[in-house]
Amino acid sequence: MRSTFQFGRFNYPLQGAGRRPRVMGILNVTPDSFSDGGNYQALEFALGHAEAMIEEGVDIIDIGGESTRPGSPPVSLEDELQRVMPVVYALRDLGPAISVDTYKPQVMREAIIAGVDMINDINGFRACGAIDAVRDSDCALCIMHMQSDPQHMQLAPSYADVVDEVVAFLRERIDALLEAGIDPRRLCIDPGFGFGKTVEHNYALLKATGRLIEETGMPLLAGLSRKSMIGAVTGKPVERRAAGSVGGALAAVAQGAIIVRVHDVADTVDALKVWQAAQ
Ligand code: 7PJ
């Protein structure tokens, strides 16, 4: 494993005394059924949520303008930019690192101009123009594995060997980014829990966290917060999955994950402090 993770304005040690797991808080900027759908209301809500996460000790805020839950319809470029960019500009200088969750090259470009520290792409920078959009910057790049696409991925997930196939996919994407001249210190991987995977596939990947890191040589980000893999084990509905999600985050970190992407920032920060104190 290499020694640092270049994260835009930040530089995370991956070895030695400076190494510690980082908490990425999820900030969805999607107008929902109980608001009137107005952008202003969505912005106000998002900024309030971000302030709360900052108070709770979040390291990174991951801003997303498109729901990628199974079966979700895509969002237009214009709508995504109008949702995400005002939030990026409002949060950029408040302390935490800023990540944008997008697979659209034009959103990546705008976010990088605004100075974000990470582009988090559930599509693994496979869109035409995605690699060009991120090449000439110093932001971190999260390469996530997904089988199929958000509208179809949970219909019939199928693998001969899920760990082998995810490793092969991630290696191929890492090579594509490196061939474009991107500094390997900017890259991290993510197995993409819930993205074209059954509960069994998800746990096979979680158990293989150490192998994924070793076989790609990359730091790993784990996003399992409140997902169906947590509900399947606890029997809890999505609004009562915080403790189960903290358990999953600890399992990932104990096997070497450096970033956990979560909804429940305060609980995860506390759990990781105790875990870190026991190392
Ligand atoms: C993930 C993500 C994840 C990364 C979402 C949800 C679905 N980005 N974006 N990893 N999940 N890197 O949060 O339930 O697991 S959206």
Q: Is the pLDDT confidence value at 268 over 70?
A: yes
* CA 166 to ligand 1 center in whole angstroms: 16
- What CA–CA distance (Å, rounded) separates 52 from 56? 6
Query: Over the stretch 152-195, which tens digit does the pLDDT of each residue have?
Result: 998 999 999 999 999 999 999 999 999 999 999 999 999 999 99
Cβ neighbours of residue 116 closer than 8 Å, sequence gap 6 or more:
8, 88, 92, 98, 99, 100, 139
* CA 264 to ligand 1 center in whole angstroms: 14
Q: Whose CA is nearest to atom 8 of ligand 1?
A: 122
Q: How many CB atoms lie within 10 A of CB 178?
A: 12
Dihedral angle at the C-alpha atoms of 18, 136, 119, 197, nearest 10 degrees?
-100
Local confidence band at 37 (pLDDT 50, 70, 90 cut-offs): low
**Ligand 1 within 6 A of 192 CB?**
yes
**Ligand 1 within 6 A of 203 CB?**
no
Residue 47, φ and ψ in degrees, nearest 5: -70, -40
* CA 223 to ligand 1 center in whole angstroms: 6
Local confidence band at 72 (pLDDT 50, 70, 90 cut-offs): confident
Active site residues: 227, 261
Q: How much is the pLDDT for 241?
A: 98
**Ligand 1 within 6 A of 265 CB?**
no
Q: Is the pLDDT confidence value at 223 over 60?
A: yes
Query: Over the stretch 122-144, which tens digit does the pLDDT of each residue have?
Result: 999 999 999 999 999 999 999 99
The residue-averaged pLDDT of 203-228 equals: 98
Q: Whose CA is nearest to atom 11 of ligand 1?
A: 223
Pocket test for ligand 1, best of 61, 63, 66, 68 (most atoms within 8 A of CB): 68
Q: Is the pLDDT confidence value at 266 over 90?
A: yes
Local confidence band at 208 (pLDDT 50, 70, 90 cut-offs): very high
**Ligand 1 within 6 A of 190 CB?**
yes
Residue 63, φ and ψ in degrees, nearest 5: -95, 125
The residue-averaged pLDDT of 11-30 equals: 96
Q: Is the pLDDT confidence value at 53 over 60?
A: yes
Q: How much is the pLDDT for 33?
A: 45
Q: How much is the pLDDT for 135?
A: 98
